[in-house]
A and B are shown apart, each in its own frame.
Chain A
């Protein structure tokens, strides 16, 4: 059962997408691993690790057609139980402007920061959009070093705060 594939399904949001998709996988003896599913801008997007002997394309094609979803399947080398625990969290907020993500993550990458999760959203109003992003990742660099790396952005009205995540293990 190590033949994991990454399945991407995207389409206009409507109730029942997850239920019908996962039912089709189940009926075809396909197994889910780690997944991420979320509504983004009126679309529902699913990324799923799937494994099993069944024919994945054939299993999902009818559902994709019925729900008008776009389907993409990749062979992957990944497997389960490869979790990394983040030690740094970064919160970004500022008036929406081009390049916020590129500049923040560029500064972080230059400091050897490895992003594990990134979520971003546009809040505020259509007239005054506010970009909000949270990043969790791993870095050997200190909070202070990372904060310095992103501080120049604050002069441009983007508030970036770096903090440590001390994961409780008990």
Chain B
């Protein structure tokens, strides 16, 4: 199975919005297999989105089951047409990206989200995600909307220090 070429900055195609998937056929399944192969081929990525390999359809894969420190997760997920329906809280975290080599930056994301997505067979499922997995999903959905984490990087000085102290003091 071929490893697909990853688009990297400053490729303008990364800014392109992706279209919904309407046809849940064998061709889609074959592409998903190639996308997964590509995700696993490089430095292990916890997620990948179809537009990163130049296919502008709303398809993402994520897998937060292998992190260095265990996090809450739903295992290996293939999400078609994912749509975030609810955002809650916010958290600063460091992100990197297959499409942005040799750079990491701090990004604020919602701490908890709800989403609806379809399976590769077209069945609709709902998910609730938190912390790291929620961050990965938001990172991937951004790709579908033509956004990179670079579009959301905050200054190194931006920190949630006071909020953390507040939380600590209130327990």
A: residues with CB less than 8 A from B are: 81, 83, 85-86, 91, 93, 117, 119, 132, 134, 159, 161, 164-170
**Cβ-defined partner of B98 (8 Å) among A83, A132, A170:** A170
CB-defined A-B contacts under 8 Å, sample of 30: A83-B103, A85-B96, A86-B94, A91-B164, A93-B161, A93-B165, A134-B159, A161-B164, A161-B168, A165-B93, A165-B94, A166-B69, A166-B71, A166-B94, A167-B95, A167-B96, A168-B94, A168-B139, A169-B46, A169-B95, A169-B96, A169-B97, A169-B98, A170-B45, A170-B47, A170-B48, A170-B62, A170-B97, A170-B136, A170-B140
Chain B residues with CB under 8 Å of A161's CB are: 164, 168
Q: How far is the CA of A45 from the CA of B45 in the complex (A)?
A: 37
Which residue of chain B is the closest to A169 with respect to CB atoms? B96
**B43-61 interface mask toward A, CB cutoff 8 Å, 1 = contact, 0 = none?**
1111110000000000000
Chain B residues with CB under 8 Å of A93's CB are: 161, 165
Q: Are A132 and B97 in contact (CB under 8 A)?
A: no
Q: How far is the CA of A167 from the CA of B43 in the complex (A)?
A: 13
User: B124 within 8 Å of A by Cβ?
Assistant: no
**Chain B contact patch, size range:** 20 to 34
Which are the 4 A-B pairs with shortest beta-carbon distances?
A170-B47, A167-B94, A168-B95, A169-B96
How would you classify the secondary structure of chain B's contact residues: helix, strand, loop or mixed?
Answer: mixed
CB contacts under 8 Å to A, within B18-76, are 43-48, 62, 67-69, 71
Which residue of chain A is the closest to B42 with respect to CB atoms? A169
**Cβ-defined partner of B102 (8 Å) among A83, A86, A159, A166:** A83
User: B121 within 8 Å of A by Cβ?
Assistant: no
Which residue of chain A is the closest to B139 with respect to CB atoms? A170
Q: Are A166 and B93 in contact (CB under 8 A)?
A: yes
Nearest Cβ in chain A — how far from B148, in angstroms? 11
Q: Are A83 and B140 in contact (CB under 8 A)?
A: no
Chain A residues with CB under 8 Å of B48's CB are: 170
Q: How far is the CA of A125 from the CA of B59 in the complex (A)?
A: 52
Nearest Cβ in chain B — how far from A34, in angstroms? 11
Chain B residues with CB under 8 Å of A86's CB are: 94
User: B85 within 8 Å of A by Cβ?
Assistant: no
Chain A residues with CB under 8 Å of B103's CB are: 83
Q: How far is the CA of A91 from the CA of B104 in the complex (A)?
A: 20
**B131-168 interface mask toward A, CB cutoff 8 Å, 1 = contact, 0 = none?**
01001100110000000000000001101010011001
Q: How far is the CA of A168 from the CA of B136 in the complex (A)?
A: 7
Interface centre among B94, B97, B103 (most CB of A within 10 A): B94
Q: How far is the CA of A85 from the CA of B135 in the complex (A)?
A: 18
Q: How far is the CA of A86 from the CA of B168 in the complex (A)?
A: 23
Nearest Cβ in chain A — how far from B162, in angstroms? 9
Q: Are A167 and B102 in contact (CB under 8 A)?
A: no
Q: How far is the CA of A81 from the CA of B102 in the complex (A)?
A: 7
Q: Are A169 and B93 in contact (CB under 8 A)?
A: no
Q: Are A164 and B69 in contact (CB under 8 A)?
A: yes
Q: How far is the CA of A119 from the CA of B93 in the complex (A)?
A: 17
Which residue of chain B is the closest to A92 with respect to CB atoms? B161
Chain A residues with CB under 8 Å of B96's CB are: 85, 167-170
Q: Taking A83-B103, A166-B69 as given, write out 18 further A-B residue pairs in contact, using a Cβ cutoff of 8 Å, ordered by the A residue number.
A: A83-B102, A93-B165, A161-B164, A166-B94, A166-B132, A167-B93, A167-B95, A167-B96, A168-B95, A168-B96, A168-B139, A169-B43, A169-B46, A169-B97, A169-B98, A170-B95, A170-B97, A170-B139
